[in-house]
Amino acid sequence: DQQVKQNSPSLSVQEGRISILNCDYTNSMFDYFLWYKKYPAEGPTFLISISSIKDKNEDGRFTVFLNKSAKHLSLHIVPSQPGDSAVYFCAASARYGGSQGNLIFGKGTKLSVKP
């Protein structure tokens, strides 16, 4: 049973437009959410995070939105650039639960930004 779901395996966007990557979760104990970016042949790198006490966190071109009632979060990239082409993983954890530190990952969404 998947606790973190990224239902779109791939997404293609034109350069300069907005990329929206979606993530749903089922465990109501999750209180911290992260997005990771992964290029081929490299390890995932941290992109942006959000705590459950917030509904939005912004860092440059990247914004993460959290809708706790819907158990949904999304990553917005504006404007999208060809260098953003990568696989994006959503991850969640319950920092104050029994498995503190245990990150659960979604399956990833491959973003392609076309010039």
Partner 1 sequence: EAQVTQNPRYLITVTGKKLTVTCSQNMNHEYMSWYRQDPGLGLRQIYYSMNVEVTDKGDVPEGYKVSRKEKRNFPLILESPSPNQTSLYFCASLSLGTGGNTIYFGEGSWLTVV
Q: Which residues bind partner 1 (CB under 8 A)?
A: 6, 9, 32, 34, 36, 41-46, 49, 51, 89, 91, 93, 95, 100-108
- Locate 84 and state its tokens: 């953003």
What is the nearest approach in angstroms of partner 1 to the Cβ of residue 82? 23
- Separation of CA 41 from chain center: 20
C-beta of 16 vs 59, nearer to partner 1: 59
What is the nearest approach in angstroms of partner 1 to the Cβ of residue 94? 10
C-beta of 29 vs 104, nearer to partner 1: 104
Q: Where are the beta strands (DSSP E) in 6-108?
A: 10-14, 19-25, 32-38, 45-51, 56-59, 62-67, 72-77, 86-93, 104-105
C-beta of 77 vs 94, nearer to partner 1: 94
N residues, the chain = 115
The β-bridge partners of 73 are 23, 66
What is the nearest approach in angstroms of partner 1 to the Cβ of residue 73? 15
